[in-house]
Structure 1
Amino acid sequence: MQFHTPDGLTEIEVTHLFVAGWTGRDHAKVAHHIAELAAIGVAPPSRTPLFYRTSAPLLRQADSVEVLGPGTSGEVEPLLVQGAGGLWLGLASDHTDRALEAHSVAHSKQVCPKPAARQLWPLADVAGHLDQLVLSCDIQEDGTWLRYQHGTLAAIRPLPELLEACPLPEGGAMLCGTLAAIGGVREARAYRMALTDPVLGREITLAYHVRPLAVVS
């Protein structure tokens, strides 16, 4: 994969991909969410946070992705990448099959592509103000763009803490968790996302469309 960095174009071969789940910093809210999901048949995690191992080729830089059926949705997440001599911060979407979640969260993570932005920042550049970074996601519904997620990284467990729990090997990448969906989790056919650094005045952006494939039986 090729990424634009402050030092120019960098190529990193991603060979290991992890999706961190249940990473909310407010433990009471995480417990409440687990209970909500349990009520609709989603099995609770064995521990929190939990690190799901997924196929590395799922992480891709694309303007559109194909998924099976209509029951999927994306989530804006910080992306950590270890490679090219450093540790980097980027942006990705944990696109997930929501219908499959009731059967297995791990399986639901594995069946959808994970769109990634084409930009990376050295993690060291933002290490002193990580909690001030802003995540945002808009979705398109009936031709109108609506705010779907918004908040700072202060809502997510500190990224160094996640790295300590799940160290990344060379070529490793990790999606680090997300924010609550405004109006509830739901399907959308178009997403635009951003990771904004208000301290250094810059932004990483990601936009993609979803193409559902027919479920044939």
Structure 2
Amino acid sequence: MNLEFRAAGAQLPLALKHLIVAGWTGRDAAAIAHHIEELAALGVPAPSQTPLYYRVSAPLLTMADTIEAVGGASSGEVEPLIVVADGKRYLGLASDHTDRALEAHSVAMSKQVCAKPCAAELWDWDEIAGRVEEIELESWIEEDGAWVPYQSGTIASIRPLAELIEGSRIDELASDGPVAMLCGTFGAKGGVRPAGRFRMEMRDPATGRKITHEYETVTLPEVA
């Protein structure tokens, strides 16, 4: 099934072959430690190394405005999205929605069980590569009927994307078909927590361009 991306005003339908979730990608050692600590508070074990590259099912990437998750312990994370297709790279926006309860037992499995919402718009990598670290990302969650700031930062807070591209071997995988990679996130204001609605935005301060996406999480009953 194709994902109907848009790039430079044109439709870019892609049948994604591989999907990667890069984890523990913070550039600042203190920021990584903070993220590990906030997840440790949820019972998540520390990573074996940083960064890590989790392979998940390609159909998990979705442009839907509603996803479903079992139980009430899942939450989103705003992340830059790299897409490689037909020898070209693009930059987009996605949420690494994750089951936090399962994460305490296996981070890899927690990544696999949740859809990964993304925006349809992509930016040509060659147009923004020289200033990619200036790109700003922000997210909000809905709490008590109001939108609350949840995350914010620039791509400069994440390991250089060129380093993640090399470490993930995304270009090699792309020889088999289109590949996408979520590239890591920032700490959550007030701590990681679930919310019924998640809103995210990516801004290019040099041009004023924005990419946005918003989605709702429908909670399915956890039947034992």
Structure-to-structure mapping, 1:37-56, within 5 angstroms: 37-38=39-40, 41-56=43-58
Which residue of structure 1 lines up, in the alignment, with residue 32 of structure 2? 30
Structure 1 stretches lacking a partner, 5+ long: none
- Matches of 1:77 and 1:63, distance apart in 2: 17
Which residue of structure 2 lines up, in the alignment, with residue 184 of structure 1? 191
Aligned pair partner of 2:211 in 199, 204, 217: 204
**Do residues 111 (structure 1) and 118 (structure 2) align?**
no
- Matches of 1:100 and 1:202, distance apart in 2: 36
What is the root-mean-square deviation in Å for CA atoms of aligned residues?
1.3
Give the aligned residue type for 2:125.
L
- Matches of 2:130 and 2:32, distance apart in 1: 26
Which residue of structure 1 lines up, in the alignment, with residue 22 of structure 2? 20
- Matches of 1:186 and 1:86, distance apart in 2: 36
Structure-to-structure mapping, 1:146-185, within 5 angstroms: 146-168=148-170, 169-170=173-174, 171-185=178-192
Distance 1:104 1:4, change over 3 A: same
- Matches of 1:69 and 1:37, distance apart in 2: 18
Query: What TM-score, normalized to structure 2?
Result: 0.93
Contact 1:10-1:84 at 8 Å conserved across structures: no
**Do residues 97 (structure 1) and 99 (structure 2) align?**
yes
Q: CA deviation at 1:179?
A: 0.8
CA offsets per residue over residues 171-207 of structure 1, 9 Å max, x none?
Answer: 1110000011011110100111111001122011111
- Matches of 1:194 and 1:40, distance apart in 2: 26
Distance 1:192 1:53, change over 3 A: same
Which residue of structure 2 lines up, in the alignment, with residue 193 of structure 1? 200
Query: What TM-score, normalized to structure 1?
Result: 0.96
Which residue of structure 2 lines up, in the alignment, with residue 3 of structure 1? 5
Q: CA deviation at 1:38?
A: 4.4
- Matches of 2:199 and 2:30, distance apart in 1: 30
- Matches of 1:115 and 1:16, distance apart in 2: 15
SS at match of 1:173: strand
Contact 2:23-2:50 at 8 Å conserved across structures: yes
